[in-house]
Amino acid sequence: MSGKISFFKSVENYVDKAAAFTDIPKGLVEQIKVCNLVLQIRFPIRVDGNYQVIEAYRVQHSHHRLPTKGGIRYAETVDQDEVMALASLMTFKCALVDVPFGGAKGGIKINPANFSEEQLQNITRRYTSELVKKNFIGPGIDVPAPDYGTGPREMAWILDTYQALRHGEVDSIACVTGKPVTQNGIRGRAEATGRGVFYGLRECMRHEEDMVKIGLTKGIEGKTMVVQGLGNVGSNTALISQAEGHVKIIGIAEREGSIHGPDGIDVEKLLAFRKETGSIIGFPGTKHIGDASAALELECDILVPAALENQITLDNASRIKAKIIAEAANGPITADADPILIAKGIIILPDFYINAGGVTVSYFEWLKNLSHHRFGRLENRFQHDAYRRIVMKVEEFTGKTLSDRDRDLLTRGGTEVDLVNSGLEDTMITAYNQIKETFRQHPDIKDMRTAAFVCSLKKIAGDYISMGIFP
């Protein structure tokens, strides 16, 4: 929470600010802002011969499109306000990237590190059966996914519990996404959020006129980056930006503290070092510069807060020296810090745009599950043969022969991961350009968050209006 404003209230304030740039009727804006359904759950589990009451939530923010969609987080910070705020961000996220779902979110107030794997499985299965009982989960109702503190393992437990209770339902595998690939998941989902952050940043930095304003040259290559959080999103953002964007990672923050490596930090090696030693501190070629928030204040081109909410606040906002902030986490900047950063001319790529890669590939997984076949399976060989015939003709006409490597590249049909990544890339680029178009239509909008909210609001309002509820 930022000062006195709750997280949910701050999302509402952002929506109100954006709504002022539209002609959406006030009552409709109110309907879009509220959470439609809030489920509060309490259940006991046995820990070391004793009972512990577990507090959990599932919030369905908007039903303008179904199913509703959003992750489930396991964290001690979980409370109703946080889950409501995150569910609401999911609505705007899905609308922005044209993923046809309403927003939802779930949360269990636990620190997973304090429980054994068996206890976590019990908690996850019990939570799922509560959702089934209340009709809060299903391929056409509400489809959970991973979030902070959860991953493919938990999704597999959710699927198994759902299938045990809804035996024989033909589309049951689409009741949850982010599953292991062997359990009807999709290739590319695990790294999708980080990959999406990279595609969004690369698209933003491709526009010379915008980069010049912040004193940068066009293009992501060679730019410096600082990442807070080496969880799924942070580590994949860093790895992919380094490998595919030739970005120089110069600072990393984790629970144990921050490190600075002005000559560049090899993220793959750093992850292996942390696995071995349990810490990033002491990684060769880097200096320990302070606690988990110290790296946020480093001088860099791109800052990626990829941990939890409320990291850049009234306290440290004036000391942030980055030129671009990519909100890979949800809500890392508090509402009172936001205007300070905007006044400094920093470009903020808002959370519900820049971290939308996860839900985008979840959508592809859901489509795959409903179609009961792997993308590329039917057309892969057909495409390969067709391309091979074209290449052979070209060789025949020109009298030139291609190298084996070039021939392979030209004749390859798209595999599942190729198709997923290209769909994700297209989604992130298209959404960025929709935000840019909104700027063009509303020259008085000064920041990307407001422009992105305007974009989403117009789409959601359009849905309600065409349903005939709001003539």
Torsion, Cα of 146, 150, 153, 155 (10° steps)? -40
Q: According to the binding rule CB under 6 A, does residue 194 interact with ligand GLU?
A: no
Q: Which residue has the tokens 């592809």?
A: 364
Which helix (H) or strand (E) is 389 found in, with range? helix 380-398
Q: According to the binding rule CB under 6 A, does residue 70 interact with ligand GLU?
A: yes
Q: According to the binding rule CB under 6 A, does residue 11 interact with ligand GLU?
A: no
Least separation in angstroms between residue 4's CB and ligand GLU is 26
Least separation in angstroms between residue 406's CB and ligand GLU is 37
Q: Candidates 67-75, 108-116, 236-244, 320-328: pick the segment binding ligand GLU (CB under 6 A).
A: 67-75
26-45 positions binding ligand GLU, by CB under 6 A:
none
Identified catalytic residue from 33, 69, 93, 105: 105
Q: For ligand GLU, which is the closer residue by CB, 185 or 358?
A: 358
Residue 390: Cβ-neighbour burial (10 angstroms; 0-12, 13-18, 19+): exposed
Buried b (16+ CB within 10 A) or exposed e, 290-305: eebbbbbbbebbbbbb
Binds ligand GLU (CB under 6 A): choice among 33, 58, 61, 69: 69
Q: According to the binding rule CB under 6 A, does residue 228 interact with ligand GLU?
A: no
Q: According to the binding rule CB under 6 A, does residue 177 interact with ligand GLU?
A: yes
DSSP SS3 for 242: helix
Rounded distance, CA 428 to CA 355, Å?
10
Rounded distance, CA 251 to CA 460, Å?
39
Q: According to the binding rule CB under 6 A, does residue 145 interact with ligand GLU?
A: yes
Q: According to the binding rule CB under 6 A, does residue 147 interact with ligand GLU?
A: yes
Q: For ligand GLU, which is the closer residue by CB, 156 or 216?
A: 156
Q: According to the binding rule CB under 6 A, does residue 71 interact with ligand GLU?
A: yes
Q: Candidates 68-76, 130-138, 431-439, 446-454: pick the segment binding ligand GLU (CB under 6 A).
A: 68-76
Q: For ligand GLU, which is the closer residue by CB, 85 or 455?
A: 85
Please give the single-letter amino acid code of residue 419: L
DSSP SS3 for 433: helix
What phi, psi does 40 have (nearest 5°)?
Answer: -110, 125
> Site size for ligand GLU, by CB under 6 A?
12
Least separation in angstroms between residue 360's CB and ligand GLU is 8
Report the residue closest to ligand GLU, judged by CB: 71
Of 439, 465, 441, nearest in space to 24 by CA:
465
Q: According to the binding rule CB under 6 A, does residue 82 interact with ligand GLU?
A: no
Q: For ligand GLU, which is the closer residue by CB, 142 or 297?
A: 142
Q: Candidates 21-29, 57-65, 66-74, 156-164: pick the segment binding ligand GLU (CB under 6 A).
A: 66-74
Least separation in angstroms between residue 71's CB and ligand GLU is 3
Q: For ligand GLU, which is the closer residue by CB, 293 or 330?
A: 330
Q: For ligand GLU, which is the closer residue by CB, 87 or 445?
A: 87
* 253 and 225 Cβ atoms separated by less than 8 Å: no
Q: What is the spatial order of strands in the sheet that 68-74 belongs to?
A: 37-47, 50-60, 102-108, 68-74, 142-146
Please give the single-letter amino acid code of residue 164: A
Least separation in angstroms between residue 94's CB and ligand GLU is 8
Least separation in angstroms between residue 335's CB and ligand GLU is 19
User: How long is the chain?
Assistant: 471
- Number of other residues whose CB lies within 10 A of the CB of residue 239: 21
Q: Which residue has the tokens 């039917």?
A: 378
Q: Which residue has the tokens 């690939």?
A: 181
Rounded distance, CA 400 to CA 398, Å?
5
Q: Candidates 263-271, 276-284, 354-362, 404-412: pick the segment binding ligand GLU (CB under 6 A).
A: 354-362
Least separation in angstroms between residue 226's CB and ligand GLU is 22
Q: For ligand GLU, which is the closer residue by CB, 128 or 330?
A: 330
Of 104, 84, 92, 118, nearest in space to 32 by CA:
92
Q: For ligand GLU, which is the closer residue by CB, 185 or 257?
A: 185
Q: For ligand GLU, which is the closer residue by CB, 71 or 200?
A: 71
Which helix (H) or strand (E) is 289 found in, with range? strand 287-290
- For residue 468, give every residue at least 6 positions away whose Cβ sits within 8 Å of its Cβ, in sequence order, or none: none
Q: Contact letters (x/-) for ligand GLU, 291-330, by CB under 6 A?
A: ---------------------------------------x
* Helical residues (DSSP H) of 97-231, grouped into ranges: 117-133, 152-165, 192-205, 208-213
Euclidean distance between the first and the last CA atom of the chain, given in angstroms as a whole number? 37
Q: According to the binding rule CB under 6 A, does residue 237 interact with ligand GLU?
A: no
User: Is 105 an annotated catalytic residue?
Assistant: yes
Least separation in angstroms between residue 169's CB and ligand GLU is 20
Least separation in angstroms between residue 440's CB and ligand GLU is 27
Rounded distance, CA 71 to CA 356, Å?
12
C-alpha separations of 263 from 49, 244, 248, 272, 282 in Å: 52, 18, 8, 19, 15
Q: Give residues in contact with ligand GLU (CB under 6 A).
A: 69-71, 145, 147, 177-178, 330, 355, 358-359, 362
Active-site residue list:
105
